[in-house]
Chains A and B, each alone.
Chain A
Amino acid sequence: MSGNVTPAPEKAPRRPFLRRALDAIVSGNAFTVTFLAFVSALILGAIIIILATPSAIRAWQDFGYAPGEALRQSWRAVANAYGSLFLGSIGSPRAIIDAIRSGDGASVVAAFIPLSETLVSTTPLMMAGLGIALAFRAGLFDIGGQGQLVLGAIGATIAGFSFPSLPAVIHVPLAILSGAAFGAAWGFIPGVLKARTGAHEVITSMMLNYVGMNLLTWLLTTGLVQAPPRNQAISKVVVAAARLPSITGSSLRANLGIVLAVLLVLGVGWLLNRSTLGFRFRMLGANRDAARVAGVQIERHFTIAMTLAGMLVGLGGAFMVLGVDFRLSPLYSGSIGFDGITVAILGRGTPLGVGLSALLFGAFTAGGRTMQVNTSIPLQLVQVLQAVLVLFVAAPGVIRTIYRIRLTKAGGRVFGGWAG
């Protein structure tokens, strides 16, 4: 009975929609699963929104007298919250069209602010997700995104304020490369430790997060980095010539960073699917033993993969500081280094998937801020949505348990080789 399974052409019997939808989740069709997970997350989010809206809760307490009112209030709360999320991340389609028709520059810019903010939030998430996904594909679990992102930002900032008179054509690339190098160093360390000593990259990269974040805190007290008059924990400011130019030529914050991030997504896609190095990474990720027998120097490739991963995540930090913030402050990375892990999982480790997931999370982040302002729903709802989404995608077993679906043979696995 062992494995004489040849894939037979799919005969599709007619089954109810829901049944087919759930089957698709279980059998691991990437797009369908992600879409359905998205819908499920929104439904769960709606419940949370209702619970977090006092007027809706009150209406439910009076459900016996006025059931219509409870539903109406609930609907209003959910529509309001998700509407704000949409307005904050994409904007009002009507406002965009009206602004373009009117031809008034200022109102066009204003209409595009939400989209611009989405791209701004997307950029570092995309880079962090890309680096971590690359490591995944080589069978490595890089959870040092926080540290790598901070180091990339430090490298870019130092190069960005240290040369006051360089022209932009030199200064921008220099600052970017400096950030890449700092991030790469923070990936190289766990990589080389694994290669030479066998130390597990999960432990070492996680510990380097603390080192990196505290390094930043310390640097912000030194004369080298701290902004004069040195009474605040912020860095000197990146000079104008080192800043990433705007892509719209207006006051919108969307900048060259997102363009470079998209190019790097394409580059990593090429690396993984078209290059011999990427082939070896995938071999390592899919079956380390076979890679070794086939003559791959696995230790060397661990180091290379972690270094590249650190470099990509570090570039995320560099794009943030060179494109938007221009200066460092304590805890600069927020949780982007960790969010990169969820982006990589949601994107199933593929560059395209990472790009789309980062865009989604970027939209959530940008829209969540608007939602927090307009409604009583806190920004944390967005994080709950993201977490639930990833939970459904990465653990189809959860869905299976909820809906009591029988285990089918083609149960999908998102990644292999997290352990070891």
Chain B
Amino acid sequence: MRLELQGISKRFGDLVANDRISLTAEEGEIHALLGENGAGKTTLMNVLDGLYRPDEGVIQIDGAPVHFANPGEAIKAGIGMVHQNFMLIPVFTVSENVMLGFERTRRFGFLDRGRARQEIGELSRRFGLEVDPDAMVGDLSVGQQQRVEIVKALSREAHLLILDEPTAVLTPQETDELFTVMRSLRASGRTILFITHKLKEVLAIADRITVIRQGKVIGTTRPSETTAQDLASMMVGRGVDLQVKKTAARPQEPILEVHNLTVLDETGRVAVDGLNLEVRAGEIMAVAGVQGNGQTELSEGITGLALVIAGSVRIAGRDLTGASPKTILRAGVANIPEDRQRDGLVGDFQIAENIILDVHDEMPYSLHGALRWPSIFEVSQGRLSDFDIRAPSVHVAVKTLSGGNQQKVIVARELPRHIRLILAAQPTRGLDIGSIEYVHSRLVAARDAGAAVLLISSELDEVMALADRIVVIYRGRLTGPFDAASLGREQIGLLMAGSAADATRPGETA
């Protein structure tokens, strides 16, 4: 199926999300749509999927113009969408999920499960999408759930598959498997629109690459004709240094000493399982791992937000096991939480109020229980320029800022304090390249100033770029530490998938 977009524009009020976008995906082609967050990729996709109507422009399929009023029409036209957040029902089986909305029935309205199961089997075999039709979706790994989504799209006879940031939640090995599937789909003549912001993946899999920036097509190229550096420049609109500049670490005394730490998750399962970790002043220790292997609970255990069941946490020589979050913050811990909008910021508050969120009861921001707004505004104003926060004033609500600027507000709040330990969880998730560079350089600078940095990240590139030492977390347990220089991507990938770690845990039959 050949897809052609001609001059697609979509506006939201004054904001032009898509500005006369034209691109052509040929039959049997993997076409990558590359752009930063906010470049307009998602809008374009929603136009293709029938969720939005374009203000201008024409969509042509195999040369004939089409109009979609809703996603159902897009599906009928052969467009299959695999969203970033899966649209699956966890308590249904794989075959039930695939059937959902397109149930085949036998006489008297009984569901024809046998037929669905058979179809799934055929599709899986044909494209290497191994998945058990009778498994409960909630029990599957993220990678397997993604396969279910693809099978679902294929079972509806999709000839154009749109994959929205499909690798964000995958291990490197799972990514490789996905690429194999994508190649076999291409071989069968299907067209794939691969939406991503990851340069390496684009170069590895795409036939052609279209880069968009600020809603406009910047150019279309082929992997053989470009480099990661060039693509990054096209995405950002200026020269970009992909390498983090840093000198060798000069580690000092241990700042964070975690011993035998055990933390439960919200459902009461052991999420951090007797974990040992030491981070020294002047080094960046990275905790690599696929999301959901205990990273959240590890950082909450250290910051006092989660109940520590067993073990101890020492920070700068003080035993702070089970201490209150406030005591731990006061001991010199900077916390850059994983979910910045939920845990790091109050969206409706002004920038200035967010700057003092965890220090509002200290001088010079308050005295005897009364806030001193003039000092608060003065300090915040300074932070705006020191940390390159792009905002009209310190009085605007933080929720109106872009993700990158929101993260800078957090960094501007946490780093200027007297810091011994920085806990940075997924600090660049969803940020634009400029902001990523910025956050990285700040973390390295803090390290060089003598802070201990614990970086929790599921982005392998980030781990490789920043870490002095690396541990890998899998099901609440750590492997390592390894010297960053001595460990290759492949090895980390294997460890992230649990190959070397002890895969069984107490209370669980593996």
Contact = CB atoms under 8 A, between A and B. Distances in A.
Interface of A: 1-8, 274-277, 279-280, 282-283, 286-287, 289-297, 409, 416
The residue in B40, B325, B357, B391 that gathers the most chain A C-beta atoms within 10 A of its C-beta is: B357
B343 interface: yes
A87 to B, nearest CB: 43
Contact of A279 (B14, B342, B345, B371): B371
A4 B371 contact: no
A409 B345 CA distance: 21
Nearest to A3: B402
B37 to A, nearest CB: 6
B200 interface: no
Contacts of B63: none
A6 B366 CA distance: 30
Contacts of A292: 305, 325, 343
Given A6-B392, A7-B396, A276 B370 contact: yes
Given A276-B360, A293-B344, A7 B38 contact: no
Q: List the 4 closest A-B pairs by CB distance, nearest first.
A: A295-B326, A294-B358, A4-B38, A287-B346
B342 A290 contact: yes
B369 A275 contact: yes
B386 to A, nearest CB: 20
A1 B370 contact: no
Contact of B348 (A286, A289, A294, A297): A286
B361 interface: yes
Contact of B346 (A276, A277, A286): A286
B142 to A, nearest CB: 21
A419 to B, nearest CB: 16
B40 A1 contact: yes
Interface in B325-368: 325-326, 329-330, 335, 337, 342-349, 353, 357-358, 360-361, 366
Contacts of A276: 360-361, 366, 369-371
Contacts of A295: 324-326, 329-330, 358
Contacts of A3: 38, 399-403
A276, A279, A293: residue with the most chain B Cβ atoms closer than 10 Å: A293
B346 A275 contact: no
14 contacts: A1-B38, A1-B41, A3-B399, A275-B369, A276-B360, A276-B361, A276-B370, A277-B369, A287-B342, A287-B345, A290-B343, A292-B325, A295-B330, A416-B348
B13 interface: yes
B329 A1 contact: no
B325 A6 contact: no
A287 B37 CA distance: 25
Contacts, number: 99
A16 B349 CA distance: 33
Contacts of B361: 276
Contacts of A416: 348
Contacts of B348: 286-287, 416
B15 interface: yes
Contact of B335 (A287, A289, A293, A409): A293
B307 to A, nearest CB: 13
Given A276-B369, A291-B346, A295-B324, 15 more contacts: A2-B37, A2-B403, A4-B402, A6-B402, A276-B360, A276-B361, A279-B353, A286-B349, A287-B342, A290-B346, A290-B357, A293-B303, A293-B325, A293-B344, A294-B358
Contacts of B344: 290, 293
B42 interface: yes
A283 B347 CA distance: 10
Contact of B17 (A1, A282, A283, A291): A1
A297 B323 CA distance: 12
A281 to B, nearest CB: 12
Contacts of A279: 353, 360, 371
Interface string B254-286: 000000000000000000000000000000000
A6 B400 contact: yes
B43 interface: yes
A2 B42 contact: yes
A289 B37 CA distance: 25
A297 B327 CA distance: 11
A274 B370 contact: yes
A293 B399 CA distance: 18
B370 A293 contact: no
A7 B342 contact: no
Contacts of A287: 342, 345-348
B14 A1 contact: no
A286 B346 CA distance: 6
A54 to B, nearest CB: 51
A291 B354 CA distance: 11
A1 B399 CA distance: 14
Contacts of A294: 325, 329, 357-358
A225 B392 CA distance: 62
Nearest to B13: A409
Interface centre among A276, A292, A409 (most CB of B within 10 A): A276
Contact of B400 (A7, A275, A277): A7
Nearest to A413: B348
Interface string B362-394: 000010011101000000000000000011100
A276 B358 CA distance: 11
B162 to A, nearest CB: 15
Nearest to B390: A6
Contacts of A1: 12, 17, 38, 40-43
A3 B357 CA distance: 22
B391 to A, nearest CB: 7
A332 B390 CA distance: 56
A275 B343 contact: no
Contacts of A7: 392, 396, 400
A234 to B, nearest CB: 43
B407 to A, nearest CB: 12
B46 to A, nearest CB: 8
A5 B371 contact: no
A287 B343 CA distance: 8
Contacts of B324: 295, 297
Contacts of A293: 303, 305, 325, 335, 337, 343-344, 358
Contacts of B403: 2-3
Contacts of A280: 360
B38 A2 contact: yes
B47 to A, nearest CB: 11
A292 B478 CA distance: 27
Contacts of B369: 275-277
Contacts of B360: 276, 279-280
A1 B52 CA distance: 13
A323 B192 CA distance: 77
Nearest to B325: A295
Nearest to B366: A276
A283 B344 CA distance: 12
Contacts of A6: 390-392, 400-402
A3 B12 CA distance: 12
A276 B369 CA distance: 5
Contacts of B358: 293-295
A293 B400 CA distance: 21
Contacts of B13: 409
Nearest to B46: A1
A279 B360 CA distance: 8
